[in-house]
């Protein structure tokens, strides 16, 4: 009787563990810290899709491996008179567990490659061009002025204010004045380091209007934690109106309204 009940118990635990592994899929029912933040860019779904795919694959492997580990520990625990099986291994098994993980990993790599190319390598045409320059501890964002060209006298520079119209891709050229910063828009699944001496182009867009934040993801000094900016995605009309308002105001001279730091004291003087 006991020998018969054992596999059933085994199966029940397996069902329970697989159920637990399936939880991430049922995101609606989970507390916020078990969910990815909402995704608002047109490629955020691809990043999240890969994340969940890998979560499923690794989740299943995790459950199988840890379950086997616990099962072996229990099943082959020392008891009087037990003698271990004398074996040095099995070449066929070695081949199987070399090839299977290799195939899984290569498939994940191939699936990733396509999205990566789309997000980081291919810049969309007909995009709005801007320049983003990081400095300790603020984001300078440069827009084309009325002449529609970047790098001319009528450019508009804002501090920590990124505005763009909904539905239109933005191509940003990232630079840094001092140290490495990382331009991070969590909800847009955007992250790219801004490196001094380099210009890096990235693109992003938004599928809906709203307010979000820019974070710095690369340690850049004592004010790294508060190197925060604001993203406003609005309708094309609202955006044009905002840009026109900015054109009338003088460009900001220095990061204002931030706590004192050596950097800013010197800049203000």
Q: By CB under 8 A, what part of segment 87-106 binds another protein?
A: 87-90, 93-94, 97-98, 101-102, 105-106
Rounded to whole angstroms, how far apart are CA atoms 189 and 39? 7
Stretch binding another protein (CB under 8 A), from 28-36, 147-155, 157-165, 234-242: 28-36
- Which of residues 143, 184, 203, 239 is near another protein by CB under 8 A? 184
- For the segment 200-229, give every residue that binds another protein (CB under 8 A): 200, 212-213, 215-226, 228
Q: Which long-range contacts (CB under 8 A, 24 or more apart) does 98-107 make?
A: 104/57
Rounded to whole angstroms, how far apart are CA atoms 118 and 99? 29
Q: Which is nearer to another protein, 205 or 218 (CB)?
A: 218
Q: Which is nearer to another protein, 89 or 248 (CB)?
A: 89
Rounded to whole angstroms, how far apart are CA atoms 269 and 252? 15
Q: Which is nearer to another protein, 99 or 244 (CB)?
A: 99
Structure tokens at 113: 């490659």
- Which of residues 197, 248, 250, 260 is near another protein by CB under 8 A? 197
The reply to whether 127 sits near another protein by the rule CB under 8 A is no
228: helix, strand or coil: coil
The reply to whether 108 sits near another protein by the rule CB under 8 A is yes
Size of site (CB under 8 A) for another protein: 94
Rounded to 5 degrees, φ, ψ at 215 are -115, 155
25: helix, strand or coil: helix
What is the smallest separation between the CB atom of 118 and another protein, expressed in angstroms?
A: 9
- For the segment 41-80, give every residue that binds another protein (CB under 8 A): 46-47, 50-51, 54-55, 57-58, 61-62, 65-66, 68-69, 72-73, 76-78
Task: Write the CB contacts of 98 (distance below 8 Å, at least 6 apart in sequence).
Answer: none
The reply to whether 260 sits near another protein by the rule CB under 8 A is no
Contact pattern from residue 226 through residue 245 relative to another protein, giving x for each residue in contact according to CB under 8 A and a dash for the rest: x-x-----------------
Q: Which is nearer to another protein, 8 or 122 (CB)?
A: 122
Q: Which whole-number Å values give the CA distances from 98 to 60, 92, 109, 111, in the listed order? A: 17, 10, 17, 20
DSSP 86-122: -----HHHHHHHHHHHHHHHHHHHHHHHHHHIIIII-
What is the smallest separation between the CB atom of 255 and another protein, expressed in angstroms?
A: 11
């Amino acid at each position: 009787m006991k020998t018969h009940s054992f596999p059933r118990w085994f199966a029940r635990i397996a069902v329970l563990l697989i159920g637990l592994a399936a939880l991430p899929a049922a995101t609606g029912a989970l507390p916020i810290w078990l969910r990815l933040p909402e995704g608002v860019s047109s490629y955020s779904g691809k990043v999240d899709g890969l994340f969940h795919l890998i979560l499923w694959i690794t989740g299943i492997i995790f459950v199988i491996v840890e379950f086997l580990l616990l099962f072996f520990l229990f099943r082959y625990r020392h008891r009087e008179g037990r003698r271990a099986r004398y074996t040095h291994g099995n070449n066929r098994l070695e081949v199987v567990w070399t090839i299977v993980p290799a195939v899984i990993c290569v498939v994940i790599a191939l699936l990733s490659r396509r999205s990566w190319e789309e997000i980081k390598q291919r810049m969309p045409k007909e995009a709005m061009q801007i320049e983003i320059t990081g400095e300790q501890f603020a984001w300078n964002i440069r827009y084309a002025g009325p002449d529609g060209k970047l790098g001319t006298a009528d450019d508009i520079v804002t501090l920590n204010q990124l505005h763009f119209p909904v539905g239109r891709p933005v191509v940003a050229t990232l630079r840094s004045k001092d140290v490495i910063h990382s331009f991070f828009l969590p909800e847009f699944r955007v992250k790219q380091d801004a490196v001094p001496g380099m210009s890096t182009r990235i693109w992003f867009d938004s599928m809906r209007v709203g307010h979000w934040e820019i974070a710095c993801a690369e340690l850049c000094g004592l004010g790294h934690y508060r190197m925060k900016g604001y993203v406003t995605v609005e309708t094309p009309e609202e955006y044009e109106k905002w840009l026109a308002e900015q054109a009338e105001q003088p460009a900001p001279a220095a990061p204002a309204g931030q706590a004192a730091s050596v950097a800013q004291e010197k800049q203000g003087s």
